[in-house]
Amino acid sequence: MTLGIDAYYIDDHGKQVDLPLSSALGGVESTRYSFYAGEKAIAAGLVLFPLLATEMWIEARGAELAILKREAHVMLGFLEDKERAYWEFRLGNILEAIELATPYGENGIVSIG
């Protein structure tokens, strides 16, 4: 299984409208624990990504998108050369989703899981 990324907003009628992503890949299932909720993420005080260890998915909306963006940049800073390409692509997908959802304010949502 793989972790997927979705970006969408809730329109004025309460309907979910998907935003097109270049790629929805977030990583293989085991990376919930080994990367997103790994020792480095927890030691850095991240709050959203580590939830993937106990939740099927996480959703960030509105102001939480800025937190998710900061956490993605923190994770980019942890990358070692041997894993850089793999994770830059996946974290890049998350950053793209955030950029697409942010203009919708509290109605913009990014889901990972």
The per-residue pLDDT for range 57-85, each reduced to its tens digit, is 999 999 999 999 999 999 999 999 999 99
pLDDT at 82: 93
> 68 with 88: CB under 8 angstroms?
no
Which two three-digit tokens encode residue 10? 């809730």
As to burial, measured by CB atoms within 10 angstroms (0-12 exposed, 13-18 middle, 19+ buried), residue 102 is middle
Distance (Å, whole) CA 48 – CA 63: 13
pLDDT at 1: 76
Helix (H, G, I), strand (E, B) or coil at 90: helix
Which two three-digit tokens encode residue 27? 């990583």
pLDDT at 17: 98
Apex CA 7: angle with CA 42 and CA 37, to 5°?
15
Instruction: Write the CA distances from 35 to 30, 31, 92, 103, 105, integer angstroms.
Output: 8, 5, 15, 28, 28
pLDDT at 34: 95
Listed as ranges, residues in the chain with pLDDT below 70 are none
